[in-house]
Structure 1
Amino acid sequence: MSEAEVTRDGLAGVQPGREAIPGNLPDTAAFAGRRRGGGEQRMVPQAEFTSYYGRPVVKAPAWRASDIAGYLFLGGLAGAGSTLAAGAHLTGRPRTARALKLSSLGAISLSAAALIHDLGRPDRFLNMLRVAKPTSPMSVGSWLLAGYGPAAGLAAASAVTGRLPRLGTAATLAAAGIGPAVAAYTGVLLADTAIPAWHEGHRELPYLFTASAAGAASGMALLLAPRAETGPARAAAVLATGAELVALRSLVISAGHAGEPYRRGRPARLLTTAKRLALAGTAGAALAAGRSRAAAAASGAALLAASAATRFAVFHAGLTSARDPKYTVLPQRLRHRARTGTPPAEPAEPAE
């Protein structure tokens, strides 16, 4: 034992390290000493990503899946449906055009109802129209809905009553022009948040939502339109499914570590279901829908369910990534190291 005495300058006679307790090392690293060839072998534990008091770094939104995921799906269905309706209107497919105009009006009405239900009061949506801010996806989306809703309503009313055909055609074209933006803006809206699984895939998310919306609108056409008029819808279903699968794969890859929630748990199961339904619906549309009304309806229902499953999968993946700190911390560290050229941090060598 060493002897120490207290002086005015502190402890005297202390030899640091002589009485150190094995294993009492700094929190930044842990080492187990083991003699091998006269040296120390360093044992570094796997890094753990934690946060202050174990709380998430990003606060998960308090959104209900039935409201917000339903809003995402229905808005996309409405926007893409109006585009297909305009094509059917201009190419002499009146029954298909009428069915899609009505379904788009119903979808956007239910979408707005889901959004207002989540907001709690209708006046909160109206308050978002008090200003127009081009840099805010929420503000742009609010104005898109405000312009799209009346156009879709006029187009549907004219198709049902047969009155004011010129106004109905103008409204149909207006809804078709705004429709793609309505289908895509929700992807931009999610990507503009700090939720890791959404933000890290900000380039691909709008394309995924657009392709998924096109698949849903094609499915609605197959479900409601006469078999003789479903040719364009069958072709659109094939293209939409291919684009959706490519966009989804690109999203998961480009999101890096934050894309892990898409491959695990509920989001993974939903995405697997969505892929199977989309492929089954597309195969039915391409091979059997032109010959059988029942096959067309079944294919359309599968495509609609696939689009809905995709939106719910993206929604739940975002919430999962917000709850785990590593999906926020690790991508930020990797970007910082890539930007500064800093190598991964190494713990200091233990004293001999």
Structure 2
Amino acid sequence: MSYYGQPVIKPPVWKVPDVPAYLYLGGMAGGCSTMALLAEVTGRARLARCGRLAAAAGASASVAFLVHDLGRPLRFLNMLRVIKPTSPLSVGSWILAPFSGLTGAAAAAELTGALPRAGRLAGGAAGLLAPAMTTYTAVLLSDTAVPGWHEGHRELPFVFAGSAVSSAGAVGLLAAPAEAEPARRMAVAGSVLELIAENRMERRMGLAAEAYRTGRAGAVLRAARVATGVGAALALAGRGRLARISAGACLTAGAVATRYGVFEAGRVTARDPRYTVEPQRRRNDR
């Protein structure tokens, strides 16, 4: 144990619900931007429209939650003063800021009908940034000393990517029922990726996996897996209105719960010195 049982590392000061909401909304926005780009290319105008609007709303809300957690807008702007390729926080800020601007421009063109060509270009550029948008927060968490996040650094980006894709699929199922088939496929594929990656992460990460299986984080993540699995099954098997709405609701609830569960599990491992000290001792013994 550590000196008088005190934490070995400084626990994160990030707040709830600000950071879990930031994690979910940013991922959903990235997934929706990809969905909008693919829908535009394949001639599905309604699906492209709902994807653009959801991406803009999600990115804007994600920035708002981040700024609220930081306390002052100036702190977010200060992150953009320089770009440091070796810092996930710096790179993430330079992904989030242009992505938010591009999705906002695409949504404005969609709503007003002004400058449609510029709006499509902005939406296309946002779609190209979207894969980074869905995963950079996982890299940001994994690059810390928090055992519950760092030990899962190989799989956590895939967990977040799968969750983002299933979230976007849920938006498409709910908002564009007439063109929901691609969204249905996204929902199922994202759910499968998320569940497989999460299972692999917990099996590989050693002692820190305990925080993902016990306490509040464990309960939330179990509920998330159930909601995601049920949502994927409904999306795959059901074509009716009730099945579509139920699938979208379950997938959204599962994605929100996954982000909160991962966040809470990391905080648990930061507070308890055992998660830091025991793996270090085992590595030294080997």
Of structures 1 and 2, the one with the larger relative CO (CA 8 A, separation 6+) is: 2
Equivalent in the alignment of 1:248: 198
How far does residue 92 in structure 1 lie from its aligned partner after superposition? 1.3
Matches within 5 A, 1:94-109: 94-109=45-60
Is 1:284 aligned to residue 227 of structure 2? no
- Within 1, Cα distance between the matches of 2:144 and 2:54? 30
Residue 211 (structure 2) aligned to one of 261, 269, 276: 261
- Within 2, Cα distance between the matches of 1:124 and 1:256? 36
Matches within 5 A, 1:73-222: 73-222=24-173
Is 1:337 aligned to residue 281 of structure 2? no
Residue 297 (structure 1) aligned to one of 245, 252, 262: 245
- Within 1, Cα distance between the matches of 2:112 and 2:242? 29
Is 1:307 aligned to residue 255 of structure 2? yes
3-state secondary structure, aligned to 2:17: helix
How far does residue 280 in structure 1 lie from its aligned partner after superposition? 1.1
Is 1:323 aligned to residue 271 of structure 2? yes
Residues 125-145 of structure 1: CA distance to partner in whole angstroms, max 9, x if unpaired?
000111100000000000011
3-state secondary structure, aligned to 1:130: coil
Check conservation: 1:220, 1:301, Cα contact below 8 A.
no
How far does residue 331 in structure 1 lie from its aligned partner after superposition? 1.1
Amino acid at match of 1:128: M
Check conservation: 1:271, 1:310, Cα contact below 8 A.
yes
3-state secondary structure, aligned to 1:107: helix
- Within 1, Cα distance between the matches of 2:3 and 2:117? 62
- Within 1, Cα distance between the matches of 2:285 and 2:154? 22
Aligned residue-pair number: 286
3-state secondary structure, aligned to 1:129: coil
Query: % of aligned pairs identical?
Result: 50
With structure 1 as the length reference, what TM-score do the two structures score?
0.80
- Within 2, Cα distance between the matches of 1:218 and 1:159? 20
Residues 181-204 of structure 1: CA distance to partner in whole angstroms, max 9, x if unpaired?
011000000000000010111111
Residues 257-299 of structure 1: CA distance to partner in whole angstroms, max 9, x if unpaired?
11110010111111111111111111111111x3x22321221
How far does residue 332 in structure 1 lie from its aligned partner after superposition? 1.2
Amino acid at match of 2:266: G
Residue 274 (structure 1) aligned to one of 224, 231, 237: 224
How far does residue 245 in structure 1 lie from its aligned partner after superposition? 0.7
- Within 1, Cα distance between the matches of 2:4 and 2:282? 23
With structure 2 as the length reference, what TM-score do the two structures score?
0.98
Amino acid at match of 2:39: A
Equivalent in the alignment of 1:38: none
**Structure with the larger helix share:** 2
Residues 295-319 of structure 1: CA distance to partner in whole angstroms, max 9, x if unpaired?
2122111101100000000000001
Residues 87-124 of structure 1: CA distance to partner in whole angstroms, max 9, x if unpaired?
11111111111111111111111111110001000000
- Within 2, Cα distance between the matches of 1:74 and 1:228? 25
How far does residue 165 in structure 1 lie from its aligned partner after superposition? 2.1
- Within 2, Cα distance between the matches of 1:304 and 1:184? 18
How far does residue 161 in structure 1 lie from its aligned partner after superposition? 2.0
Rg larger in 1 or in 2?
A: 1
Check conservation: 1:224, 1:297, Cα contact below 8 A.
no
Residues 195-239 of structure 1: CA distance to partner in whole angstroms, max 9, x if unpaired?
0010111111111111111111111111111x2301111111111
Amino acid at match of 2:80: L
3-state secondary structure, aligned to 1:63: coil
165-174 vs 137-146, greater mean Cα deviation: 165-174
How far does residue 153 in structure 1 lie from its aligned partner after superposition? 0.9
- Within 2, Cα distance between the matches of 1:204 and 1:56? 26
Check conservation: 1:223, 1:298, Cα contact below 8 A.
no
